[in-house]
Structure 1
Amino acid sequence: MYAPERQQEILRLARAGGRVDVLSLAEEFQVTAETIRRDLKALDRSGLVRRVHGGAIPTGRLDFEPDLSEREATAADEKDRIARAALAELPEDGSVVLDAGSTVGRLAAAFPLERSLTVVTHALPLAVRLADHPGIDLHLVGGRVRHRTRAAVDAWALRAYGEVRADVVFLGANGFSTAHGLTTPDLAEAAVKRALLTAARRVVLLADSTKHGAEHFARFGDLADVDLLITDTGLSPEDAAGIAAGGTEVVRA
């Protein structure tokens, strides 16, 4: 099979399934992973797919949203490094808000047992992780729970966050860039994330570098709304400098 034919078939699979991954494509077409990466790069340059960690998603699918288990497995090492770096942002005996998301979830799992904090979250998996922490005064925000993210949304959640003013909010996003700001596929999730931007005195965005440049359906803020971005070294120094020029501190863990 010639490269253009293979690329057309890859595009068809991406559009049918919402996503393709390098290793599965290499096995299916009996070529090397590097050959598939070149195919995806060519499709990306043509604007037909957007490359993500380990594969690609078709452009035009701004509403595509992987489920929680898939997000947990994506860029796992990078997310662990980001979470460890974020521990330095925890206040002493203060209050934090935790957004839904796999990277923020890793931070919650890494909370030191000796730390005393007031924690507010609308994410059920994070609440479960912290429920038995001896030093955590846990507040669970209610609302309609989205199956895909296990997070509460809609009026109850928005009303609760309107009454909160914490020291730090640890925020997640599906996409971030200076051009498109902070985005996520779902409007209800975006509304809650927008409320989080004003629910704390300091906003810390935890996002791995595969999300840089990604644009999704629902926009909930600007990078300028973020005090600190903690990402991984996959974000180039040049891109980090461009974000910092807009007033957001950047840590590449």
Structure 2
Amino acid sequence: MYAPERHQSILETARAQGRVEVAALAAALDVTPETVRRDLSVLERQGLLRRVHGGAIPVERLGVEPGVAVREGLLAAEKARIAKLALEEVPEDGAILIDAGTTTVRLAEMLPTDRPLSVVTHSLPVATVLAGRPNVTLHLVGGTVRGRTLAAVGPWAQRELAEIQVDVAFLGTNGLTPERGLTTPDLAEAAVKRALVACARKVVVLADHTKLGRDDFAHVVGLEAVHVVVTDSGADPDLARAVVEAGPVVVLA
């Protein structure tokens, strides 16, 4: 197993179990404890884990939200597949809204160039991708920009979103559970995401499999407000079925 594969396995285990221990990881991965400690150090430098005596804890357990630069390189292939499949939800004629997030940026990059599109976003990275597209009429929502997500939040953003209606909103999320729906670490982000949902006729959530089953601090909306969840084939089948039972269609990329 190559180092990047170990890192992904360690991170997924930490998020699923709440913590990881060096000895158990060394046995499971068939490597030395020294190799595991180096891997944990790498993941800590990337802002994904926090080292503790004998192991590590995922930063989500500590209320720490990784920044955009950290998240961009994670599960890149899965995010690309999700974004490509989500293109099927883009209407032939109408307006769409694209939320902040690394998977939603991939969707913006893949939007068709052969027809006019009206796109609303509060995400600076999404706006940067689309600003030069001659076929896109871009509407940028203002507000206070969060450094973690490079997204506009606050009352200004909420007021602007309350004045519009789009055909489809493509949302990102930090966490998604059948019981609590969509969640995110930040209250201001959660408030804007609720405004995104409220102004859309159809809500499509783009979430890789590590987001399913994760429950963050701030509640956004329940799954009854979501029409489609696009995730990847790494999603736990039982969890995916529970999500379907809560309301939305689940599509695997």
Q: Same fold (TM over 0.5)?
A: yes
Are positions 1:223 and 2:227 aligned together? no
Q: How does 1:72-151 map to 2 (within 5 A)?
A: 72-151=72-151
Give the number of aligned pairs: 216
Deviation at 1:74, TM superposition (A): 1.0
CA distance in 2 between partners of 1:103 and 1:56 (Å): 24
AA matched with 1:191: A
CA distance in 1 between partners of 2:32 and 2:185 (Å): 29
CA distance in 2 between partners of 1:141 and 1:28 (Å): 50
Deviation at 1:32, TM superposition (A): 6.1
CA distance in 2 between partners of 1:207 and 1:97 (Å): 16
CA distance in 2 between partners of 1:65 and 1:58 (Å): 7
CA distance in 1 between partners of 2:108 and 2:202 (Å): 17
TM-score, normalised via structure 1 length: 0.78
AA matched with 1:211: K
AA matched with 2:170: F
CA distance in 1 between partners of 2:74 and 2:115 (Å): 29
The 3 A distance-change label for structure 1 pair 226 and 56 is farther
Q: Which runs of 5+ in 2 are unaligned?
A: 1-9, 41-49, 51-55
CA distance in 2 between partners of 1:86 and 1:164 (Å): 22
Residues 41-95 of structure 1: per-residue CA shift (max 9 Å, x gap): xxxxxxxx9xxxxx9605742x221000111111111100000000100001210
Percent identity at matched positions? Answer: 50
Q: Which runs of 5+ in 1 are unaligned?
A: 1-9, 37-48, 50-54
Q: 1:30 aligns with which of 19, 27, 34?
A: 34
Are positions 1:57 and 2:81 aligned together? no
The 3 A distance-change label for structure 1 pair 59 and 80 is closer
CA distance in 2 between partners of 1:191 and 1:66 (Å): 19
AA matched with 1:179: E
Match in the other structure for 1:42: none
Quote the RMSD (CA, aligned, Å). 2.8
TM-score, normalised via structure 2 length: 0.78
The 3 A distance-change label for structure 1 pair 108 and 183 is same
Are positions 1:193 and 2:193 aligned together? yes
Residue 69 of structure 1 aligns to a residue whose secondary structure is helix
